[in-house]
Structure 1
Amino acid sequence: MHQWTDRSGPYSQGSQDLYLEKIFSVFHTTNRYFVEFGFNTLSYGLNASGANTQKLYEDGWRGLLLDANNENTRINLKKHYLFATNIVAIFEENNVPKEFDYLSCDMDSHDLWVFRAILEAGYRPRVITTEYNSNYPITDAITLLDPTIVRNSVDIGKFEFKFSQCAWGAGAGALRIVAEAHGYKMVGRVGNLDLIWMRNDLLMNQCSLLPPFEWFFHDASIGKLHHRQQSSSDILSQIIDYETYVRTGGNLTASNRAAHSILKRRRLPCYESVKNFF
């Protein structure tokens, strides 16, 4: 694994600061614009898990911050629940440039679908970090569903986020499918927190020098319990195998069944308490 994988930066929860500083010292910046969600505090420097953009902000970068519970006009932090169906409108309302330097995706939920919607709309951040769920083996493409994908309409004003214990977010394999389909290559891993991606066109001839995706997970604690074990079988209706979803043209029933088959076969600690419901 990379020497920074399990280190910590000055502000970020893990080594995100270290990676970003090095990447932008080599590839330089353009507009020094960022987007970060979710920003789980009212401002930089307060007690929280560590914002990925704090060092950038202190260096003069500016951008859009999004969170479900916090708002602060001084730092352009807007309060929104994010879904595949509203993220592009939010970007447009806030004049997010189509190409910007850095995107941080971390909302402990249906991150994959929001991430995918951003890229499908033609936004092309140069560097991206995505939170990933290390409970899932990297060969699997398990993800939590976006409720707006499941149902035609969701009352966003009445939506309440509930952390899905160890089933939050998406596994590395699912995020890889989305990132690579839109022209990104993984260049780093931050412990059991984030994956780091760069646009292929920036890497150019250096793509051949980068290690394969699997290399970044050597000696990683993938598949071990991260966060609390599932206590309710209700979660099983909210997860799918994203690879099947893509292959079947969005068939949720087939994708959900494929996820159940994978999890039954894997016998992951995350689902030990609900294994009889597969």
Structure 2
Amino acid sequence: MKGLIKKALRKAGKYMFPSANHPARDETSLMLQGKQLAHLKSAFVKDSTGLFDFEFKVFSQWGEDGIIEWLVEQLSPLPQIFIEFGVEDYTESNTRFLLMNRNWRGLVIDGSPDAIAKVRRSELHWRHDLTAHASFITRDNIDRIFEEHGFSGEIGLLSVDIDGNDYWVWEAIKSVNPGIVVCEYCAHFGDIHAVSVPYKEDFTRHAGHYSGQYFGASLKAFISLANRKGYTFLGTNASGINAFFVRNDLIPRLGDKQPPVKSFPMRASDTRDEQGTLTFIHGPAKADLMRHLPIVDVETGKQTTLGELGYLYSDEWVKLMRGDLP
């Protein structure tokens, strides 16, 4: 019976909410459904097999809303402050449900002035304590941006998603001490090697390679960085997009509710050809497109290429890419 309930809740979390871009969506209804599903998952998913059991989508892209809501509830009390960068116009984001459901204070940053102007024109900007800032983020300006807007010290959550220098930017952050960190990882780099694109101040995803798949860092690179910064890796979402970390001193609050650590490769495909047309390439073939490009082993500092690293995926990830059950 418990297994059936878990399957039903997981399916509900994926399919009960319309697209964030649907013109007719009712945000009040979405919020109520999100609250209800959060309570249901907290009540019934006691023997979870991974963080993905708690997924549901209200405003996030891949179910992160549910995971974040569960973590915040279990780790409470946390400072009711978040920072998220790489938000575009904040229509689809990791912290919007947190802002609206729990009324946290937050800072959102994006490199597009037009996107941030849209955030500032929205009701969110006056209904909540939300600061929206336009800036192209580098490892040299990130702390200054936080401090100039009054964000420093203890915060509840940091979400990192800039499709580029993500590893190097998180490494550089010293001004805030988040309880929870959410990072988008590049699953195409595999789960065996701790690697990142080399730091380049003006790096952008599609300028890095026409496919749009050469960006960020591998999951193992973020786990290595998290360990050095004093964080524990709890797992990823089922879509193989975001990894979740909790500061070591907060881990005891999870007690026996801490789920088994489970990570996933990415199944979605937004790979493009040189004309910008979607090609829908899946699995290891994505990495084959980039085997000649430079990559940095973040643990040794050595620059190499994906091709020189050899095989990139563990047996477990290979099984998952084939569609075997988690």
Query: Which category of TM-score, normalised to the shorter sequence, fits these structures?
Result: 0.7 to 0.9
Distance, in Å, in 1 between the alignment partners of 2:305 and 2:257 is 35
Look at both structures and tell me which one has the larger radius of gyration over its CA atoms: 2
Which of 152, 156, 167 is matched with 1:112 structurally?
167
Distance, in Å, in 2 between the alignment partners of 1:235 and 1:32 is 44
- Whether the aligned pair in 1 keeps the contact of 2:171 and 2:225 (CA below 8 Å) is yes
Give the equivalent residue in structure 2 for 1:256: 303
- Compare 220-229 and 73-82 and name the one that shifted more: 220-229
Distance, in Å, in 2 between the alignment partners of 1:161 and 1:106 is 12
Which of 123, 134, 155 is matched with 2:187 structurally?
134
Give the equivalent residue in structure 2 for 1:168: 215
Q: Alpha carbons of 1:196 and 1:224: their partners in 2 closer, same or farther (altered >3 Å)? A: same
Q: Alpha carbons of 1:33 and 1:143: their partners in 2 closer, same or farther (altered >3 Å)? A: same
- Whether the aligned pair in 1 keeps the contact of 2:82 and 2:157 (CA below 8 Å) is yes
Give the AA of the match of 2:74. Answer: V
Distance, in Å, in 2 between the alignment partners of 1:233 and 1:3 is 30
3-state secondary structure, aligned to 2:109: strand
Give the AA of the match of 1:143. Answer: S
Q: What TM-score does the superposition give when structure 2 sets the normalisation length?
A: 0.63
Alignment of 1:8-19 (within 5 A): 8-19=56-67
| 1:266 equivalent in alignment to 2:311 | yes
Higher relative contact order (CA 8 A, sep 6+): 1
Alignment of 1:20-39 (within 5 A): 20-39=68-87
Distance, in Å, in 2 between the alignment partners of 1:267 and 1:117 is 27
Give the AA of the match of 1:98. Answer: G
Shift of 1:227: 3.3
- Whether the aligned pair in 2 keeps the contact of 1:34 and 1:100 (CA below 8 Å) is yes
Distance, in Å, in 2 between the alignment partners of 1:223 and 1:109 is 20
Which of 241, 255, 270 is matched with 2:297 structurally?
241
| 1:66 equivalent in alignment to 2:109 | yes
- Compare 166-175 and 137-146 and name the one that shifted more: 137-146
| 1:216 equivalent in alignment to 2:216 | no
Deviations 1:35-64 (A, max 9, x none): 0010111xx4x4xxx211111111211211
Shift of 1:136: 2.1
Distance, in Å, in 1 between the alignment partners of 2:233 and 2:99 is 24
Shift of 1:198: 0.3
- Whether the aligned pair in 1 keeps the contact of 2:147 and 2:175 (CA below 8 Å) is no
| 1:53 equivalent in alignment to 2:95 | yes
- Whether the aligned pair in 2 keeps the contact of 1:126 and 1:198 (CA below 8 Å) is yes
- Whether the aligned pair in 1 keeps the contact of 2:291 and 2:306 (CA below 8 Å) is no
- Whether the aligned pair in 2 keeps the contact of 1:130 and 1:195 (CA below 8 Å) is yes
Give the equivalent residue in structure 2 for 1:183: 230
Sequence identity, in percent? 24
Q: Alpha carbons of 1:189 and 1:230: their partners in 2 closer, same or farther (altered >3 Å)? A: closer
Distance, in Å, in 2 between the alignment partners of 1:205 and 1:3 is 16
Give the equivalent residue in structure 2 for 1:99: 154
Q: What TM-score does the superposition give when structure 1 sets the normalisation length?
A: 0.74
Distance, in Å, in 1 between the alignment partners of 2:266 and 2:204 is 26
Deviations 1:151-193 (A, max 9, x none): xxxxxxxx47342421211100100111011110012311211
Give the AA of the match of 2:133. Answer: K
Shift of 1:33: 0.6
Distance, in Å, in 2 between the alignment partners of 1:169 and 1:145 is 9
Shift of 1:3: 6.1
Give the equivalent residue in structure 2 for 1:152: none
Give the equivalent residue in structure 2 for 1:125: 178
Q: Alpha carbons of 1:224 and 1:78: their partners in 2 closer, same or farther (altered >3 Å)? A: closer
Give the equivalent residue in structure 2 for 1:275: none
Distance, in Å, in 1 between the alignment partners of 2:230 and 2:51 is 25
Deviations 1:95-123 (A, max 9, x none): 112110010001111100111111xx252
